[in-house]
Amino acid sequence: MSSGVRSRVFPLSFALFAFVGIGALGQAGSLTLLRAVVVLVVSAVFGQVVSEASARASLAALRPLTDAARRIQEGDTDVRAVGSQEEAESRELGQALDKLAASLTKTLRELRAERDLLSRVLQGMQEGVMLLDTSGNIALMNPAFREMLLVRGDMIGMPLLEVVRHAELKELLDRARKVKSAMTGEVEVGGLKPRRLLVRATAFEGEGGGVLAVFFDVTEIRRLESMRRDFVANVSHELRTPVTAVLSAGETLRLVAGKDPKAADQFLAIIERNADRLQRLIEDLLDLSRIESRELRLSPEVIALRPFASHVTSLFRDRAEKKKINVSMNIGTDAEAFADRRALEQVITNLVDNAVKYCPAGSTVSLSAALDGPLTRITVKDTGPGVEAAHLPRLFERFYRVDPGRSRDVGGTGLGLAIVKHLSEAMGGAVRVESEVGRGTTFVVSLPTQKIAPRELPSARSLS
């Protein structure tokens, strides 16, 4: 830049000094060749001096502007350029650089705000988001996606199949890229965290286009749908059996009525027995529905367990004596539980009723209670046939029966233990079961001993 200034100023300075010097000699009448040469040399020297001074002055005025431009290029948009107040061009250039810096500052602030907003949205989404670039490498993924597929955060830029080894997912994304439209499908993901994911993939058009995939975890939804289908099928099956028996008995009764009174009484007994079974089934379904929908209003109180257990065991004394089953109670006078009286009675009644139903003659059913820290553990134990270990995890499911034929024979609905589980949890407790084939079964209901605040409720581990 300085050489350019010199090259423009030097000829002008040299010509000016030469013209003035030679003109002065000419007017004096003493112009000679030697004097002319001397004048030219002196003009050249003065021209060089003037051009150098002019270049330095220009550089001094432009150096702050150059430094400001360099700092703006490096990202410091807060810098402001100060031009020379004596030179209009320098001043205008400084003002232009200031406006450029202010515009860049505003633009960068807006871009950062949009970037931060997008980052917060992706961070807060429950749905997984993944973006593939045109080469099929992962360009972006949010925390929900990493959690769903157990992917590390340092895998940006890697090919999809190296991050998620799933052929169906790769095929779905490739198809979306090929047809240039949205594609939807479900994929099963195994491993440590099995999941069923609904994937919606959309391809971007243009040279920089990739594929955006959004993942919805539908594992729980599909599980609930399966439970609903199983529930409808089980209810239909449970209702069909007694309804069919009632219809058959009613048709036969019509034929024998008045002809064979004894046979008529037998068919009436069949109708009554199955109608009673239908009533119990419907009542259990309604109870379970109220519990699960939280429509059941509980009124917990501190209950003295000894008189409570004495009342429950008295309900089964006659039936137990007919089957030659001994029902005993071992509860201290200080045993208490904080629970709803009606709900607790339904829980313990269901457990004792099951024990009396399924135990053979000569068995023992015992009811006991013991304090365990902040909990009271109520135990119903029998010496019946026991349950195989394979059945224990599903024992509290609706309509699950270890021996379906035997359960129906004794009048079971398949909902008793499901009601026990839900009522125990509704009262802030839990229930567990232990059993050994040939040695009997033990149910333990854990409930708070006293009223406690919700934040002080025992953990699931301590309840079990």
In this structure, is residue 408 part of a structural domain? Answer: yes
Sort strands 364-372 and 326-330 into parallel, antiparallel or unpaired: parallel
Residue 136 in 3-state DSSP? coil
Same domain, 87 and 175: no
Same domain, 284 and 201: no
pLDDT tens per residue, range 159-172? 888 888 888 888 88
In this prediction, residues 241-264 reach a mean pLDDT of 80
Same domain, 332 and 450: yes
CA distance 221 to 231: 15
Q: What whole-number percentage of the chain has pLDDT above 70?
A: 72
Same domain, 280 and 331: no
Q: Is the confidence at residue 421, as pLDDT, over 80?
A: yes
pLDDT tens per residue, range 325-368? 999 998 888 889 999 998 899 899 989 988 998 899 989 999 99
Would you state the pLDDT for residue 14?
43
Same domain, 335 and 426: yes
**β-strand partners of 382:** 365
In this prediction the pTM is: 0.54
* Residue written as token pair 């917990």: 300
In this structure, is residue 19 part of a structural domain? Answer: yes
In this prediction, residues 375-394 reach a mean pLDDT of 90
In this prediction, residues 307-327 reach a mean pLDDT of 90
In this structure, is residue 92 part of a structural domain? Answer: yes
Would you state the pLDDT for residue 18?
46
Are 443 and 352 a contacting pair, CB within 8 Å?
A: no
Same domain, 304 and 335: yes
CATH (domain of 323): 3.30.565.10
Same domain, 340 and 192: no
pLDDT band at residue 87, thresholds of 50, 70 and 90?
low
Sort strands 128-132 and 211-217 into parallel, antiparallel or unpaired: antiparallel
pLDDT band at residue 281, thresholds of 50, 70 and 90?
confident
Same domain, 259 and 333: no
Q: Write the burial class of residue 138 (CB in 10 Å: 0-12 exposed, 13-18 middle, 19+ buried).
A: buried
In this structure, is residue 367 part of a structural domain? Answer: yes
Higher pLDDT, 462 or 394: 394
Counting every residue, how long is the chain? Answer: 464
For the stretch 161-168, contacts whose Cβ atoms lie closer than 8 Å and that sit 24 or more positions apart, written own/partner, are: 163/138
Would you state the pLDDT for residue 68?
61
CA atoms within 13 A on the CB side of 10: 12
Q: Is the confidence at residue 199, as pLDDT, over 80?
A: yes
Q: For the chain, report the end-to-end CA distance as a whole number of angstroms.
A: 85
Per mean pLDDT, which range of 63-67, 274-278, 354-358, 365-369 is the poorest? 63-67
Closest CA to 274 of 318, 311, 241: 241
Would you list the DSSP string of 154-198? T-TTSBHHHH---HHHHHHHHHHHHHTS-EEEEEEE-TTS-EEEE
Residue 315 in 3-state DSSP? coil
Give CA 340 to chain center in angstroms.
Answer: 34
In this structure, is residue 201 part of a structural domain? Answer: yes
In this structure, is residue 112 part of a structural domain? Answer: no
Give CA 416 to chain center in angstroms.
Answer: 33
Would you state the pLDDT for residue 62?
56
Whole-number Cα distances in Å, 307 to 5, 311, 336: 112, 6, 10
* Maximum average pLDDT range among 23-27, 153-157, 322-326: 322-326
pLDDT tens per residue, range 438-462? 889 999 999 998 876 544 555 544 5
Same domain, 269 and 398: no
Higher pLDDT, 64 or 217: 217
Same domain, 96 and 130: no
Those residues with Cβ within 8 angstroms of residue 87's Cβ, 6 or more apart along the chain or in another chain: 61
Residue 8, domain extent: 2-105
Same domain, 390 and 436: yes
Same domain, 306 and 409: yes
In this prediction, residues 76-101 reach a mean pLDDT of 60
Last residue of a domain, one of 217, 235, 270: 217
pLDDT band at residue 430, thresholds of 50, 70 and 90?
very high
In this structure, is residue 25 part of a structural domain? Answer: yes
pLDDT band at residue 54, thresholds of 50, 70 and 90?
low
Higher pLDDT, 257 or 222: 222
Are 32 and 93 a contacting pair, CB within 8 Å?
A: no
